[in-house]
Structure 1
Amino acid sequence: MRDTTLRSSRPPAALAAVLALLLGLFWTQQAAPAHAAPATTAITVDGKGTGRTFDGIGAISGGGGNSRLLIDYPEPERSQILDYLFKPGYGASLQILKVEIGGDTNSTDGAESSYQHAKGTVDCNTGYEWWLMGQAKARNPHIKLYGLAWGAPGWVSDGTGDNFFTSDAVNYLMGWLGCARSHGLTIDYLGGWNERGYNKSWYENLHATLAADGYHHTQVVGADSGWDVATAMRSDPAFDNSVDIIGTHYPCSYMSAMTSCSTTSDALATGKQLWASENGSEDYDTGGAPMARAINRGYLDAKMSAYINWPLIAAIYPNLPYNTMGLMTATQPWSGTYSVGKSLWAAAQTTQFTDPGWSYIDTASGYLGGDRTNGSYVSYQAPHSTAWSTVLETLDATAPQTVTFKVTGGLPGGALHVWSSDFASNDQSDYMVRQPDLTASGGTYSLTVQPGRVYTVTTVRGGGAGTAKPPARGVLKLPYADSFDSVPIGGEAPLLADQQGSFEAVRCGGGRPGTCIQQMAPSSPVTWDNTSDPYATLGDLGWANYTVSVDTRLTQDGAVQLLGRVGTQQGFSPAGIDAYYLTLSHDGSWAIQRNTTSHTVTTLASGTLPAAAGDGWHRLSLTFDSTAITASVDGTQVGSVTDGSYASGQVGIGTSGYVQAQFDNLSITPGPEQSYAGTYRLVNRNSGKVLDVANQLAADGSAVDQWSDNGGANQQWTVQPTGDGYYRLVGVQSGKALEVPQADPNEGTQLDIRAASAGDVAQEWRVVPSGGGYATVENRATGMLADVNGQSTADGAKVIEWPANGGANQQWELVPVG
């Protein structure tokens, strides 16, 4: 404990002077190094300096259907999103777009359609990657395109099981390149099998076939796995010649701060270009700082000349894993809302002021003050020394630093332009901000850099931050119906997201006119993820009471499935999903079933309807009314059960087995709507504690936590409808509304209260039943849920916002007051 006892009067002056001198020496020796500002970093940007060729910054559409919902966005929001991703000088200004070569199989967040479901049946219009690549090229004609397979149709395995390294797979990739050519697209880079190692003879065959088929421009990237491919290349000249670029995954560590990156001596010794051909896997917002570090440090630590982020965008339903990862999120085509993340600006600080084909300047790249914790800097120059840029990051620094620049070797000088982004800020206006130009004094430029920032010093004119703003989140209202007649042949129905298999538009069979949706994969695919039966999902997770119906036709053994109240999907295992099913087999047998994320399928009711057997069309219906579930076939009720496991969720269609069933006339009609208007205590399912305004405060900004039920008015909330299915929660004691402060998009932000403001979406909440009498409380501005921090059961634990994860700490019982 600190001694605060008063002492006698001060010492004599002479003694005091001696003590002062000794203390001064002591603190100079002991304390100064810990607090001294870092030394000035002097950077000489020399046009005669050498370094590797810069290949670009990019992102991946695929490895799961993470771009699926983007094509269904309305205008102008869809174009705004595409501009933020690809338009030069506006947003991410991406220089590489890597896409999945669809294989009819789930590869994280869904499945992408193959252009050749069965050998010899080619349709170059399937899927949305052709559209996306075309949109990217329209905005930036110089963007590089890169294709990679995660899985493939079953026939590609040559009958050898779950194997991609076959001659058929090489031909499959050549066919895909042909489809790209038919769309006017040139593929610059081509990989093998994502994260499944390599087969030397296969890569040699691929490289030779590219040349033989006239794809001299397309370079082979090997092996989209680890650095071990480089070791194999070093001892095998034929294999070495078949790989043009070495691409590895997560060399800056998986889901980390990315403070350091690694390579191997064998990789460096190959002399090949080295890429972080997949990195990231970070939240679109909080992943910005790690991404900015990795872009610089990937070159400084490992001489990697390209950084490719997984994924491009989270344009997926929020019940899927990794639903906030990418450079942006876009999860509601019906409302048009989207979010721009810090990760997008991390890319922009480099991409807006460089181009592939520039070269690094090694002598003008390093760590500030020679210390990694101060930050890093990397310099680039254009061909013929016509322009240059230096990107600096101070993300781990704790104090301002001075950086000086001298320009030599034929590079241009004059006024230097400065742009910066403040990664400590949650305000989008603090990103890609133009700073005052630098002018030389005595041939030297000086810049003071603040902690937590990324800066670009450049001779390049232009650059900037996009200004488009999204609309508010909203509810997908019922009724909903789709006859599928407007879907082009080979296309996917709006909002219907394949999770396994491929559901595409075809001409209806069985004498029915018009267009239907058919499950196209005729056999189990070569998988990357764990396998499951084919299915596709659609809709709003907040749908509770409704009837979903669809016409089906099956002409082979197997079964069709209608899904309802579809909720959480188990990551990397699409067979594990919270949902109810009505299954109808070709022989007329039916069942009502419940599945779980742990793959437990329970039959709740079953039977046989002879009239439903055979090849004809049949209409399936599932009705949900609170805990009552009713199933009908062709208007005849076949079963009714009571089950309260899932209280809300999407709809879906599917098949049992890889059968080519058809579906038509999907409809969802609303049932009785539950109103939550009233006054409640909100009791957390995990802790049993109550949503509480801390310390009974009533001022704007007062924090919200959980506390044992004490009957206080600070634990009571009046739920007031605001329209469109949303509510305002007003504290009885304070008279103020529950909110996400300033609509902060960062997960973990503590909720507070503030004077109610009409139209403030940060104060609007959607109450969504989650089963067992509980509900989630979802913010309209951010789409995140009210969550007890860390699943704590303690009094005073913060109530924060967090992405939906199915946890009991995100579920609340609304107990009426009085």
Structure 2
Amino acid sequence: MRGSLRVPSSPGRTLRRVAVAASLLLSGALVAGQAATPAMAVAPAASAPTPAASSTPITVDGTKPGLTFDGVGAISGGGGNSRLLVDYPEPQRSQLLDYLFKPGYGADLQVLKLEIGGDTNSTDGAEPSIEHTKGTVDCNQGYEWWLAAQAKARNPNIKFYGLAWGAPGWIGNTGSGGNFWSQDTIDYLMDWMGCAGKHNLGISYLGGWNERGYDKGWYENLKSTLVSRGYGATKVVAADSDWSVADDMAADPAFKNAVDIVGVHYPCGYLGSFSSCPSTANAQSLGKPLWASENGSEDANDGAASVARAINRDYIDGKMTSFINWPVIAALYPNLFFSTDGMSIANQPWSGNYSIGKTTWVTAHTTQFTQPGWKYIDSADGYLGGDRANGSYVTLKSPNNRDYSTVIETMDATAPQTAKFSVTGGLSTGKVHLWATNLNSTNPADWFVHQQDLTPVNGSYTLALQSGYVYTVSTTSGQGKGTATAPASAPLQLPYADDFETPATTTSPKYFTDMNGAFQTVHCGGGRSGSCLRQMAPTTPIRWTDEPYGAPYTIMGDGSWSNYTVSADTMFEQSSTIELLGRVNQQGRNNNGLNAYHLRVSDTGAWSIVKSDTSWKFATLASGTTSAPLGTGHWHAVSLSMQNTTLTATIDGVTVGSATDGSFTNGQAGLGLTGYQTDQFDNFALTPGTPSNHTGPITSGLPGKCVDDNGDSAVNGTAVQLWDCNGGNSQVWTWSNGTLTHDGKCLDVTGAATVNGSQVELWDCNGGANQQWTPQADGTLKGTQSGRCLDDPAAASTNGTRLEIWDCNGGTNQQWKLP
């Protein structure tokens, strides 16, 4: 998982991979002795002779051995990545769930790995514990139970896998901090298993502590406890880290017997191409299943090629029989670090907008054509032409030794190829079905397409393969591609209020996503009737992330909000300090900082307006003390107003102070505390301030360059480009409430696209999130819908360079000074 051991990608980018403009042949087939019959042919762009295609013979022999396939899955957890999914309206929520879990519709996931919540940040958020204090178990905490139930309703055969990233603070607590490798943890896991049973969910696999090593005796105890408590069918996975666990298993029979599955993270490397996926000799000698129990951390679209390689190559290179992608979906806010990773992107529950990523369809090429329990055919697995640069192929057969499916990827091939199949050994020699995904294309119509059906002649047929594709050829049927479409994106409008009286689908209030701690709706205290929001974790948890400031807070809303007031009632249960957060902007990786303003108010009456940055450096902008202490057990009204650069603090209707600061112009709102106390909030409200307009040029980080409207045109679709700053009307822009306009038209991401390289243009203003932009403290301008930044391709300085969106990296070519 994306912790401190990971190396972030390069902060800049100087080269670009250019997408293939057109392919010569989408896919085709040769029936023995006949000419090729392509599904679609496109004339070549040039008249140069086409090189002869290399050919790979593939003998699919049902008598040949191979290991048992354990399925392809994904992870919900490791940091709040699924949080917003539960708050989506219908029918969009069901559509997203269908794309994830419904057989013959989308990703058709076969394994769902669930975070066992620990009240602590585990990448892009915190998952609540079922047991904040020892002995008090609440099996309705969080949203993982809901998600698992939805997955099971769509696919009753799906397998569930539990793993902890952190744990509540009472576990192994000896007075000097918690100890995960303790009997308390095993007891806690048994309580979690009991909750799973109450939700009618069987847990097939259980791990230890995500990416934090292992304790051999602890795993032996875990195994014996599972058996003694009636969970003997649950298999133990160790150690959700690296291959060193296999070395200890090989040397220690008791440890080896306690572990059923060796689960390793990122065996193909972290990020990158996933072109080589080895295991170790010790691991393969154990006779245990080897899993890539976490892989991915890749963008829903741009990472699809890497995932395509890894699903095949995990088995070819390392004999790993399960691939589990992190995460299952990017249902989290765009200002969080890994906001576009997963099968799909769903970050606007208020509008219902979402996008289905290429990774969904790359995954479907395996999951829709196989099932756990099928077996690989080792003699029909390998690299095309014996060269990994040409691509890879794996073949699996059904338990009845009749059906088979072969998955081929040609991610790195530079020329067309053919694969010549010969089927024997009892497997069906009847009709096969061919499906293909063109990963060079940004058009969803080119992803997961049924090409044609082929009838082998004497068990033989030939496929024509193009570069940059994933293919599946299979004797199975029942595959399909979901047809649901999402509504247009739109900002969350102000005013907005939540009195916490309307029950949400889970114990978390709608749209709030916890970053540390656990904020839950409960019966109000302090003599107030109804429901209130309470921070439930009373002690510092056993943490997974290493941020220097780990206090509880929860955020919500639209990053394009600018001038507004955030207010709430609060009640101190004990001596403590609460926070209202405003203009919450970019969060640092693994919660290692936050661009935001904080109004802090203590039970003593001390208050301060503070700003933080993405390394958790705090600066006090104003402070003071009320005329009398606020005390505990009583309700008080607090508010933080942000109007342009003026920040104003109010307590119980009295303005107590103000500050001037222009560091953050836009962002979400939130609630928090400066420590692990159990204070309460009620009547959360956001009211809009006065819109402010600023007009002038947008200058680039590249000297002398400005954002320019091509030809000073007001026609929809006009290109937005880079040009020498000249003071002309074509370079006059107005910045207001998250939008940039020129001559009455908005700066718009073409077609509401979200992938890297999507161009920007002028279009009628419609309030869509693809027209909303959030300035970041590092000078970048982030798109609300895509989570990507306005970008000058490859830092070009040529006049007329068309601007686009790209992963935010803070480079000079993404630096913009607004009017």
TM-score in terms of structure 1 length: 0.89
Q: In the TM superposition, what are the counterparts of 1:766-781 in structure 2 within 5 Å?
A: 766-768=772-774, 776=781, 778=783
Offset from partner CA, 1:730-753 (integer Å, 9 cap, x none): 69xxxx986545554321344457
Q: 1:105 to 1:707 in 2, by over 3 A?
A: same
Q: 1:257 to 1:326 in 2, by over 3 A?
A: same
Q: In the TM superposition, what are the counterparts of 1:668-683 in structure 2 within 5 Å?
A: 668-675=686-693, 680-683=696-699
Q: In the TM superposition, what are the counterparts of 1:100-115 in structure 2 within 5 Å?
A: 100-115=115-130
Q: In the TM superposition, what are the counterparts of 1:712-731 in structure 2 within 5 Å?
A: 712=728, 715-716=730-731, 729=742
Residues 1:472 and 2:488 are matched in the alignment: yes
Aligned equivalents of 1:616, 1:752: Cα separation in 2: 53
Amino acid at match of 2:391: G
Aligned equivalents of 1:462, 1:717: Cα separation in 2: 55
Given that 2:561 and 2:738 are in contact with CA atoms closer than 8 Å, whether structure 1 keeps it comes out as no
Aligned equivalents of 1:77, 1:671: Cα separation in 2: 32
Q: 1:476 to 1:291 in 2, by over 3 A?
A: same
Given that 2:401 and 2:426 are in contact with CA atoms closer than 8 Å, whether structure 1 keeps it comes out as yes
Shift of 1:800: 2.0
Q: In the TM superposition, what are the counterparts of 1:264-279 in structure 2 within 5 Å?
A: 264-279=280-295
Q: In the TM superposition, what are the counterparts of 1:66-105 in structure 2 within 5 Å?
A: 66-105=81-120
Map of 1:603 onto structure 2: 620
Shift of 1:791: 5.9
Shift of 1:808: 7.0
Given that 2:57 and 2:421 are in contact with CA atoms closer than 8 Å, whether structure 1 keeps it comes out as yes
Shift of 1:186: 0.2
Offset from partner CA, 1:464-515 (integer Å, 9 cap, x none): 2111111111110011001101236970110111000000011111110011
Offset from partner CA, 1:628-655 (integer Å, 9 cap, x none): 1110111111111111111111111111
Shift of 1:615: 2.6
Instruction: Find the partner of 2:61 among 20, 24, 46.
Output: 46
Map of 2:367 onto structure 1: 351
Percent identical across equivalent pairs?
52
Map of 1:147 onto structure 2: 162
Map of 2:596 onto structure 1: 579
Residues 1:564 and 2:579 are matched in the alignment: no
Map of 1:624 onto structure 2: 642
SS of equivalent to 1:485: coil
Map of 1:8 onto structure 2: none
SS of equivalent to 1:284: coil
Given that 1:38 and 1:369 are in contact with CA atoms closer than 8 Å, whether structure 2 keeps it comes out as no
Offset from partner CA, 1:239-259 (integer Å, 9 cap, x none): 000000000000011101111
Given that 1:777 and 1:811 are in contact with CA atoms closer than 8 Å, whether structure 2 keeps it comes out as no
Map of 1:3 onto structure 2: none
Given that 1:38 and 1:374 are in contact with CA atoms closer than 8 Å, whether structure 2 keeps it comes out as no
Map of 1:218 onto structure 2: 234
Offset from partner CA, 1:177-209 (integer Å, 9 cap, x none): 000000000000000000011100000000000
Instruction: Find the partner of 2:792 among 788, 791, 804.
Output: 788
Aligned equivalents of 2:196, 2:747: Cα separation in 1: 51
Q: In the TM superposition, what are the counterparts of 1:176-255 in structure 2 within 5 Å?
A: 176-255=192-271
SS of equivalent to 1:174: helix
Shift of 1:766: 2.5
Aligned equivalents of 1:760, 1:478: Cα separation in 2: 13
Q: In the TM superposition, what are the counterparts of 1:320-335 in structure 2 within 5 Å?
A: 320-335=336-351
Larger Cα-atom Rg: 1
Map of 2:153 onto structure 1: 138
Shift of 1:785: 3.5
Higher RCO (C-alpha 8 Å, min separation 6): 2
Amino acid at match of 1:116: E
Given that 1:490 and 1:506 are in contact with CA atoms closer than 8 Å, whether structure 2 keeps it comes out as no
Instruction: Find the partner of 2:609 among 592, 610, 616.
Output: 592
Amino acid at match of 1:607: G
Q: 1:791 to 1:146 in 2, by over 3 A?
A: same
Aligned equivalents of 1:601, 1:79: Cα separation in 2: 42
Aligned equivalents of 1:697, 1:675: Cα separation in 2: 22
Shift of 1:260: 1.0
Given that 1:193 and 1:224 are in contact with CA atoms closer than 8 Å, whether structure 2 keeps it comes out as yes
SS of equivalent to 1:548: strand
Amino acid at match of 2:783: E
Shift of 1:157: 2.5
Map of 1:119 onto structure 2: 134
Aligned equivalents of 1:79, 1:443: Cα separation in 2: 42
SS of equivalent to 1:475: coil
Instruction: Find the partner of 1:339 among 355, 359, 371.
Output: 355
Aligned equivalents of 2:151, 2:464: Cα separation in 1: 36
Aligned equivalents of 2:195, 2:316: Cα separation in 1: 38
SS of equivalent to 1:271: coil
Shift of 1:794: 7.5
Amino acid at match of 1:666: F
Residues 1:646 and 2:664 are matched in the alignment: yes
Offset from partner CA, 1:434-478 (integer Å, 9 cap, x none): 111111234311211111111111010121211111111111001
Map of 1:257 onto structure 2: 273
Aligned equivalents of 2:182, 2:445: Cα separation in 1: 51
Shift of 1:598: 2.0
Given that 2:401 and 2:427 are in contact with CA atoms closer than 8 Å, whether structure 1 keeps it comes out as yes
Q: 1:647 to 1:418 in 2, by over 3 A?
A: same
Map of 1:748 onto structure 2: 757
Aligned equivalents of 1:177, 1:632: Cα separation in 2: 46
Q: 1:625 to 1:779 in 2, by over 3 A?
A: closer
SS of equivalent to 2:614: coil
Map of 1:430 onto structure 2: 446
SS of equivalent to 2:291: strand
Aligned equivalents of 1:534, 1:759: Cα separation in 2: 36
Residues 1:692 and 2:708 are matched in the alignment: yes
Given that 2:437 and 2:449 are in contact with CA atoms closer than 8 Å, whether structure 1 keeps it comes out as yes
Aligned equivalents of 2:265, 2:589: Cα separation in 1: 19
Residues 1:802 and 2:806 are matched in the alignment: yes
Aligned equivalents of 1:503, 1:657: Cα separation in 2: 13
Aligned residues: 767
Q: Gaps (5+ residues) in structure 1?
A: 1-33
Q: In the TM superposition, what are the counterparts of 1:181-580 in structure 2 within 5 Å?
A: 181-487=197-503, 491-531=507-547, 532-574=550-592, 576-580=593-597
Shift of 1:684: 2.6
Amino acid at match of 1:672: T
Q: Gaps (5+ residues) in structure 2?
A: 1-48
Aligned equivalents of 1:650, 1:749: Cα separation in 2: 25
Given that 1:475 and 1:725 are in contact with CA atoms closer than 8 Å, whether structure 2 keeps it comes out as no
Offset from partner CA, 1:376-402 (integer Å, 9 cap, x none): 110001102131101111111122212
Q: 1:35 to 1:263 in 2, by over 3 A?
A: farther
Shift of 1:682: 2.2
Given that 1:648 and 1:771 are in contact with CA atoms closer than 8 Å, whether structure 2 keeps it comes out as no
Aligned equivalents of 1:614, 1:698: Cα separation in 2: 59
TM-score in terms of structure 2 length: 0.89
Q: 1:479 to 1:696 in 2, by over 3 A?
A: closer
Aligned equivalents of 1:321, 1:720: Cα separation in 2: 25
CA RMSD of aligned residues (A): 2.7
Map of 1:658 onto structure 2: 676
Aligned equivalents of 2:656, 2:712: Cα separation in 1: 54
Q: 1:368 to 1:698 in 2, by over 3 A?
A: farther
Given that 1:582 and 1:631 are in contact with CA atoms closer than 8 Å, whether structure 2 keeps it comes out as yes
Shift of 1:76: 0.6
Shift of 1:614: 3.3
- Shifted more, 177-186 versus 580-589: the winner is 580-589
Q: 1:525 to 1:771 in 2, by over 3 A?
A: closer
Offset from partner CA, 1:693-716 (integer Å, 9 cap, x none): 679999998865423312455x43
